[in-house]
Amino acid sequence: MSAVLETPSFMFSTFESSHEAADEAADEAAILSCFAADDFDSVWAHVYDIHDPAQNGAPAADEDLLTRAECRLLFCSGALDSARRVCLEVVEAARRDGVAPPTAILARTLLARIATEQHSFAEARRQIFEASAGVFAESPEWIVAELRLARARLAAASGDAASALGWITPALEQPSSWSASISFDPSLVPWAVRTAIETGAWSLTRELVAFAEELAASGTGGTSMAACALQARGLLVGDPEMLERAASMLAFGPRRLAEAEANEDAGDLLASRAADGGAMEHYERSARIYHMLGAHLGAHRIRSRLRKVGDADHRGRRGSRPYIGWDSLSSTELGVATLVADGLTNKQIAEILFMSRFTVDTHLRHIFAKLGLSSRVGLTRAVAEHQALDGPSHATTAQPTWQRRR
């Protein structure tokens, strides 16, 4: 682990490349940088730009680069079902060609991660076994690290924190691969800290936190990197306010699973201090996200937490908000939906609601997930149908914040 902490700068050189592939290595580094900065829109723009040589006259990029970016982007966004579909397509293509390139191995490790999140441990073990069969001595370092982390995630989810720590430690000894893994998925840090705390590995916990804070302070990471470093520190020192701030920061970013885990951590610490009211608020936020994403493992954990704080029947409480459908929308979300149906752009909505366009984007993603929609046209139609069936939307009768401010 000391080798990790001796690395002062954020490292992007995690993909092996020859002199002939220098341009592709640069593209890979640029994509990794975008992931680290939470700039998911630029990831899409970048990979499609380099994949279409007609736009700039450049030679076509390796299609594996686009595929790896797409698989990671879908997973990191929490689009588990879509990520699973794309990864399965990659695996099938590799099977037809009779080869197991690093991209196919990465797809299997992500399939293992998805299966773990969806509480399908047998499927996760199968994917890890198949991925392991394709790893050889000459395999890229980053592939080996990804496979170790997938094993560790499964072991931790199965309740074997000691085995998980055994898989984490070798991955940490490869500074560039560990840095890259964090840039793709900053939530690895608080998860590793959580696992180390469970096993009593306090020295390792402190080193993990210090390294995460070093990366966050390097200026190359985005809000998620800073939030996960803060979350890791909050877990180490037992500070619920740090965990709550981390959860709030992640709410404005694109990483939904990380947001759910931060709320779960905040709820756990508040519940341990008998602050049941605050714990319930964070648990319900976490449960709502897990439910939207189909992350059954997290949803199962939250149900257990809720029973422990004496509210197993929280869904049936008077005033409790469901996870999906119109009644799951908050007052602000209802206001955003109504404005979208009125034909306003995100910029116009942001001006009316006194919030950033990014916040409007976040609310819109939540609305789409809760209503099972994928476009503004669909939302406009749904608002009209809802108002026709049930009368005026309670977006107007409930007087949401955006209306009271006008």
Q: What is the CATH number of the domain that holds 27?
A: 1.25.40.10
d(CA 53, CA 405): 49
Tokens 């992931």 belong to 35
d(CA 276, CA 292): 24
Q: Within a domain: residue 360?
A: yes
Domain boundary among 136, 158, 180: 158
| Half-sphere exposure in the Cβ direction for 21 (13 Å, CA) | 12
pLDDT bin (cut points 50, 70, 90) of residue 22 is: low
Helix axes 188-198, 202-217, angle to 10 degrees: 160
pLDDT of amino acid 228 = 95
pLDDT of amino acid 163 = 93
Q: Within a domain: residue 254?
A: no
Which of 20-24, 35-39, 98-102, 215-219 is predicted least confidently? 20-24
pLDDT of amino acid 323 = 65
Q: What is the mean pLDDT of residues 107-125?
A: 96
Q: Within a domain: residue 262?
A: no
pLDDT of amino acid 264 = 95
Task: Output Rg (C-alpha) for the chain, integer angstroms.
Answer: 22
Selection from 156, 220, 155, 151 nearest residue 182 by Cα: 220
Sequential DSSP letters for 21-75: GHHHHHHHHHHHHHHHTT-HHHHHHHHHHHH-GGGTSPPPPPHHHHHHHHHHHHH
Query: Whole-structure pTM over 0.75, yes or no?
Result: no
Q: Which domain, by its residues, includes 379?
A: 326-405
Q: Within a domain: residue 124?
A: yes
Domain containing 397 — which CATH number? 1.10.10.10
Q: Within a domain: residue 285?
A: no
Instruction: Provide the token pair at 326.
Output: 């119109």
Counting the structural domains of the chain, the total is 2
pLDDT bin (cut points 50, 70, 90) of residue 275 is: low
Q: Within a domain: residue 210?
A: no
Domain boundary among 158, 179, 205: 158
pLDDT bin (cut points 50, 70, 90) of residue 15 is: very low
pLDDT of amino acid 24 = 63
Q: What is the mean pLDDT of residues 159-171?
A: 89
Res 5 pLDDT > 60: no
- Rounded to the nearest integer, the mean pLDDT of the chain is 80
pLDDT of amino acid 14 = 39
Res 389 pLDDT > 70: no
d(CA 358, CA 94): 38
Which of 10-19, 21-30, 221-230, 265-274 is predicted least confidently? 10-19
d(CA 46, CA 41): 9
Q: How many DSSP H helices and E strands does the chain contain?
A: 23, 0
pLDDT of amino acid 140 = 85
Selection from 132, 77, 105, 388 nearest residue 257 by Cα: 77
Q: Within a domain: residue 397?
A: yes
Q: Within a domain: residue 30?
A: yes
Percentage with pLDDT > 70 across the chain: 80
Domain boundary among 124, 158, 192: 158
Which of 81-95, 149-163, 174-188 is predicted least confidently? 174-188
Residue with more model confidence, 28 or 289: 289
